[in-house]
Structure formats: C-alpha cells, structure tokens
Amino acid sequence: MKRILITGATGFIGHHLVDYILSKTAYEVVALDRMSFAGSMSRLADLRSVSENSKRISWRWHDLRAPISELLAEQIGHVDIILHLAASSHVDRSIADPIGFVMDNTLGTAHLLDYARRLCGLERFLYFSTDEVFGPAPVGVAYREWDRYHSANPYAASKAGAEELCLAFRNTYGLPVIVTHTMNVFGERQHPEKYIPMTVKKVCDGGNVIVHSSRDRKRPGSRFYIHAQDVASAVMFLLSRGQPGEKYNIVGEREVDNLILAKMIADTCHRPLRYELVDFHSSRPGHDLRYALDGSRLAAMGWRHGASFPESLEKTVRWYLDNPQWLFCGHVRQEVAA
C-alpha cells in the first residue's frame, strides 16, 4: 500500500486532497502540518472519510522553517509520494511581511526537498505552485507552463523561488519533481478572508461587497475559479500521468469576472447584491487585476473537470448557508476580490 506525505494537510486545499485520497484510493496518508491560523483540525474532523478511515491517516507536527530532523524522518517512516501544499498564501499579508513568506514558502520548500532527496524509492514530489508567478495577464493572454515569470508581490516571488529550487533538485539529484500552477480554488471550509465565503457572508448580512476593477471602474477583475475537488482530481491524475521535471497548469473551466461571480452568489442566497467597484490600481498595490493560465496541456492528456462551474459554485454557496459557522472561523482581515 502506498504512503503519501501531505504537507499543509489541515489547510483548505490540503484537507480536500486528504478527503479525495481516503475516499477514492487505498493509500495511507501522513499529514505534516504546523497548524498555523490557516490550518484547522476542524476541517479534517468534519470529513466522513477521515472518521471512516482513521487507521489510514497519521499526524506529525512540524514547522518547515526548520529542517526535518532524523527523529521526525523516522517517525514519518517510508513514503512513496510527497505532495507539498504547505504555504503562506495571502497576498496582502505577504506585502506586510515579505520575509515571513520567503521563510515559509521558499526556505520551507528547500528543507522539504533536502529531506526528500535522501529518501529511497520516492516516486513523485509534487510542488503546488500558483498562477500568480506569471503576474498580470493582459486580456486575451493565457500563460503556458514554461512562460516567463513576472511576480507582482512577495507571495508570488516566494513561490517562484521555490519552483526554481524544485527544478534544481530535479536537475542535481534526480528528484522526481512535478510542479503545478493552480488558479483560484474555492470550495467548502475555505478561510473567510477569501472572496467567495466572504461574499456569502456579506450578502447574507446585507453588507457591501467590494469588487476591484480597472481605473475607470468599468471592468471588474477576473479569475478562472476551480473547485478544490477538481484540483484534487487533477493532482491524482498527474501522479499517474505526469512526467518528472515537468509543469502542469490546473485551470477552471471558464473565466468569470468577480462582479458576475458576486451576482451568482447573491442569486443563490436569494438576497440582493450591494456592491462597490473600487479602483484596483490605487487601492490594491501588489495585486493583479486578471490572471489566466492555459489549461490545454492537462486537457490533452485526458483530464476533465467534474461538475460545471455554476453547479460547483451553487453547491458550495448552499453548503455555507447550511454551515454558517465556517463563515466566522478566524479574523477576516480585508475585503478583497481574490
């Protein structure tokens, strides 16, 4: 039976990946996490797959700002696959604390790579990166996997630096590294600082939703939103079909601007939408108005989305309406269109 080490397993995307693996495979999972504010054991406790397969999951606490010791490596035991999702991911916080993001995302990845290169029989090391490494995408442009990087903020730069380390360890030590770029992920149990749960809460409370736009306040920002279960599906697909040393974009099925998205959320909530378009450039330095990735490579390999975007969004919004406690877990720092 294969054993998969998942870093950041109590995070938003990490816990969806744990759920997918326990539900659809016979693999064992070793969860490695430092339990920062973004992680929560409540996510995993909320999953039926965890309660029904408790013997297939084990836990280890570790902060990857420090190397993995021999004792911890022994406690982890043999692993066949490493999925590295642990990261600090909020752009606003990276602007306030750039060094912290370098420590978490770049140095943390270096420590995990250094541990991985000493493992015997490691089949895959998948590094979970972001669309933000490419910077803003002009209208009509969708970046391919090996296009140039142009990081607009410390978060993006810290992830790009970690990607280069992954490729260096592939080239130097033969580590079986795969890199993914993923666009804006949504789904159940997401931190309420993110745009979709934040908008659900604002709409239900009768508050004002801030939507960042172009300078003339006529064009809202846009993203290719993708549900976390689709991301998990793509990751597992790549573990069997992806090639070491390669990069793959995991992209939502279609582009949606954030005002249309907010209206779709309000319609599902059966509430009116109160919103304000705000000049993105002056109010949100270090952010990009539009991101876009080309997902044709993964599609050509045979991977497909599950439910459509409208179906996934409606399901997610209804879940939050039925589980409103997840709209209050933690401090919502700023109204941002992610």
So where are the chain's domains? 3-184+225-250, 190-223+255-289+307-327
Distance CA 224, CA 180 (A): 15
Is 328 exposed, middle or buried (CB count within 10 Å of its CB: 0-12, 13-18, 19+)?
exposed
Strand partners, 256: 223
pLDDT tens readout for residues 64-113: 999 999 999 999 999 999 999 999 988 888 999 999 999 999 999 999 99
For 293, phi then psi, to 5°, come to -120, 150
> Per-residue pLDDT averaged across 189-208, rounded?
95
Is 3-184+225-250 a CATH 3.10.180.10 domain? no
The catalytically annotated residue of 19, 28, 33, 131 is 131
Express the helix, strand and coil content of the chain in percent, nearest 5 each. 45, 15, 40
Q: Is 164 a catalytic residue?
A: no
Q: Is 132 a catalytic residue?
A: yes
The catalytically annotated residue of 27, 127, 143, 155 is 155
How far, in Å, are 63, 191, 197, 264, 315 from residue 188 at the CA level?
A: 25, 9, 9, 17, 9
- Quick one: tokens of 55? 């013997």
Is 190-223+255-289+307-327 a CATH 3.90.25.10 domain? yes
pLDDT of residue 289: 84
pLDDT tens readout for residues 102-154: 999 999 999 999 999 999 999 999 999 999 999 999 989 999 999 999 999 99
Residue 332 pLDDT > 50 = no
The catalytically annotated residue of 28, 33, 104, 132 is 132
Beta strands at 28-33 and 3-7: parallel, antiparallel or unpaired? parallel
Q: Is 216 a catalytic residue?
A: no
pLDDT tens readout for residues 266-305: 999 999 999 999 886 565 566 678 889 999 999 999 999 9
